[in-house]
A and B are shown apart, each in its own frame.
Chain A
Amino acid sequence: MRLLAIAAIVLGLSACATPEPRGTGDLGLVVERAAGRIMLIETSGHSVLGRIDGLGDLSHASAVFSRDGRYAYVFGRDGGLTKVDLLRERIEARVIQAGNSIGGAISQDGRVVAVANYTPGGVRLFDARTLEPLAEVPTGSKVVGIADAPGNRFVFSLFEAGQIWIVDASDPRRPQVRKIAGVGKQPYDGFITPSGRYYIAGLFGEDGLALVDMWNPEAGARRVLGGYGRGEEPLPVYKMPHLRGWAVAGRYIFLPAIGRHEVLVLDSVTWTEAGRIAVHGQPVFAVAQPGARRVWVNFAFPDNGVVQVIDVADMKVVKELKPGRAVLHLEFTPRGEQAWISSRDDGRVTVYDAASFAELARLPAESPSGIFLTSRGAMTGF
């Protein structure tokens, strides 16, 4: 009996021998979309720390982070919302909150997670600690381009309805909704600038973007870059572009042209076109490297084996990389010295030195798609 007690004490002690404490500032996750799994990575040594299973259908999955960088909230296509503890490498909570969802956002104060849904169309709010449901905002339309905004607000667009809605979630059980109608045909995604001031929705159904000044939402939306296609028939679009605050490089905003092999440059002071850059295919992500000197671009099927790098000062393509077949996503470390790029069909993530373009590491992964670093947790619009 005494022996057993001693054994229990010894076991208890060894279980208490906690690993060295670590911060989360260099952590992130890679979605292995076909496997319903995420790969936990760290960017200081370019290594895989572990894998976490059981997250459901992760096609088009995205993630946001808690303000302390410890937890990831992963939004799955199947309506699953999963809270993952990056330090304990386990699922903390998980709910299936809708039939079909597209993404989400976390509030300015970090207390509320909002999920944007296709079926049924709407936004649902959850307690970030427990994932308890708090409120629902039905929209009757597919929700796209959800972003957090200062004042514990969320802003998003409605694909069929052609509207932008702003939800004040200061009291998350009683959200207040402001609707802006007639913003344009078929907004396909939207983002908020890093300052939190401007929300911009890209339009699929016509050439142009809708701009809302979040300081003055009563003024409604205005059209920017209207008619950028100059009346020419657009090419078929095999993958919708993605917009986020990464589009902003200093004064300029770099935007994928829908149905064209072009990146459009919008001047964020005058809100007029500042140029356009011919590229390899139809852009999906145009991401400014932190430091704002370069913008990296990947492309839609069938041109998706290439990443091009635009020099912001010259507004020209200065480098072409071939990170593998079906490049789905790229993410920079917060200070911009590394670029992480996923190649779905070659099953790997390639880490580049973003200054020299030298390959730093290759990490095997199963159909990798999105790459999300914890630094997003400290940024408005991510």
Chain B
Amino acid sequence: MHRMATLLGLMAAGVVSAAEPPPARRAELLHLVRQDCGSCHGLTLKGGLGPSLEPAALAEKDAEQMSFVILNGRRGTAMPPWKPFLSETEARWIVEQLKKGLPK
């Protein structure tokens, strides 16, 4: 039980530290998501050549898998790897924002 609590605590700590790029960078990331991801997924992220990235469409999707796809792209589709421009922390943070819905 004690070990379980420690594990949960560590996981929570991991999530918190992964979740927060510095504020200036967050603004850049949101701009990137809206404008550059928006080229294919639509400016409102309703979808276009790429699928919808609205919270309802992502509810069932695994967050780890999503950040993997952001960083590495998807073969056979038009989704490119964003690794040259994003860290893992940033990709995870973007996934969290997408799942919540981007601030208006």
Contact = CB atoms under 8 A, between A and B. Distances in A.
Interface in A16-65: 33-34, 57-60
Interface stretch (B19-27, B33-41, B88-96): B33-41
Interface stretch (A2-10, A220-228, A232-240, A249-257): A232-240
A57 B48 contact: no
A126 interface: no
Given A60-B39, A326-B35, A236 B46 contact: no
A118 interface: yes
Q: Chain B, interface size: which category?
A: 10 to 19
B103 to A, nearest CB: 14
Contacts of B40: 240
Interface of A: 33-34, 57-60, 77-78, 99-100, 102, 118-119, 142, 159, 186, 188, 204-205, 236-240, 301-302, 326, 344-345, 367
Given A118-B49, A205-B76, A238-B80, 7 more contacts: A57-B44, A77-B43, A77-B46, A159-B49, A236-B80, A240-B40, A367-B35
Given A118-B48, A237-B80, A240-B78, A302 B42 contact: no
Contacts of B73: 236
Nearest to B36: A301
Nearest to B40: A240
A343 B77 CA distance: 28
A77 B48 contact: yes
Contacts of A186: 78
A100 B40 CA distance: 12
Nearest to A239: B39
A240 B36 contact: no
The DSSP consensus for interface residues of chain A is loop
Contacts of A59: 38, 42-44, 48
Contacts of B55: none
B49 A142 contact: yes
Interface centre among B38, B43, B46, B80 (most CB of A within 10 A): B43
A145 to B, nearest CB: 12
A214 B64 CA distance: 48
A236 B44 contact: no
Interface centre among A159, A205, A301, A367 (most CB of B within 10 A): A301
Nearest to A235: B80
10 contacts: A57-B43, A60-B43, A77-B43, A78-B46, A99-B46, A236-B81, A237-B80, A238-B39, A240-B78, A345-B35
A329 to B, nearest CB: 13
A302 B85 CA distance: 9
Given A119-B47, A142-B49, A237-B78, A100 B42 contact: yes
Nearest to A33: B43
A100 B47 contact: yes
A159 B50 CA distance: 11
A188 B31 CA distance: 25
Contacts of A78: 44, 46
B61 to A, nearest CB: 19
